[in-house]
Structure 1
């Protein structure tokens, strides 16, 4: 069976025709990417893909959406598109349609990744557990969090809002940073720190704590300066980011009752060497009476060129044909 898999974000929409297989690993065809700003609505982008693909599109689709998939209308942060779930299948001319949150799709993709697509970051080497809960987390525009339950041969994705838990400081600097952020936000969630924009919050707090003047940088420039080390304070802020992220992921794993953790996303892949180091690992394991248990968690980094598309296709197969 073939379906159209879509990874729909604020800036780009990615499409691919996916083949569903009995081994439950969808095979993606050529991926095509379109700027959402170039189209007035999603059906117009769909029509462009149909034209460019040069074939009649399948009558089934699965769409991963960057935002909550709930209510009668789905709005996007960075573009004026509006999705109406009840009428979308008719607008696209498909008979079967699945809508899924983009990070839930990421978790669905993790459930179908091969061993060589899960890079070791910490804990025991070897294959991931075949059953139980896997915590999926990834810093991006926000902090995405999901659970993947492996049960009797099935992969069941459980979306969460784990990125909106309260941030818990563990030392004097983090207390200082929390107090600064509370001047701007009534409540400080974990994604205020462990996300793309979160690095800027850490950077500013570090400068304030030392009295250093800083050169204003936008988020992409700050991340680049932190990663390549061209800005000493930015590099130090990135170390602090990795520490806080380790603490947060460890808390999530405990709260989820997990037996493994997978980190995902382009940002995480850019800092994979740091995530494999002691700053992340020590904070992940620093859970008091549970420290020895945390040390035995397999921690992996997901590497795949199109996890959103793979996850959208895998989620469709799991929902519509769970026992095939």
Structure 2
């Protein structure tokens, strides 16, 4: 399997591509095809795509994280003649393809959420396990930081994102404690934020297996990076820029993302929406995609033994009609 063959290399880069074999199968890679990896990361998926391309093939890799992009550039140097790496958010994929004078591609892959290297780099401020400045920006050239959200957003806004993005049942109490704490002094670090979150939760919640700050950190990170708002327009843009028969593969790591992906892919795969009693279609809507699998693809037990991060991963695949 591809994982076994490249396990040593992945370990050296501190990165294990999730659902790698499943993604490669889903993309149905043509050796001379053109593919887009919209979340390049440390290029684990991209490396395996490139290994399957001939000199006539091409890969376009996007990432909003400049650090990840430079690491990927080194890792993919052997294939420099057939790869184009661009510092960009996947929400701009249509503009990127226009700039490259590419009308459509044969497949697109998106591996959503925060990457393991981002979590492991304490200074990025993503992790509740390390004390660091509150940042959480995937693109460090962006303006909004976690510090801005925590110290500047209203009680109502904080409560909403904690509840909606983090599915945090103690969202009202945590939001209230954040406001009380920042009135005394700004909350500057991840460690300070963890203390505030802990202080807002009952003893029973603190004894749960899951870290008490996990859901809140997820919510703030999603808000900082606009992760959920970007998904539907990105998926629709991707559908527009695939060749017929081209595949769209998207990996998500929590239920909020997966619900949005499922709903949007179903919309793209739905034709006429006229009421059933209409004698003829007047909406003119035709399906753009077909679902390759009705249910999400998940990791095998074999993968979970060496890649625990894959436990929550769900892969959904659609094909352009």
Assess same fold via TM > 0.5: no
Larger RCO, structures 1/2 (Cα 8 Å, 6+ apart): 1
TM normalised by structure 2 equals 0.29
TM normalised by structure 1 equals 0.28
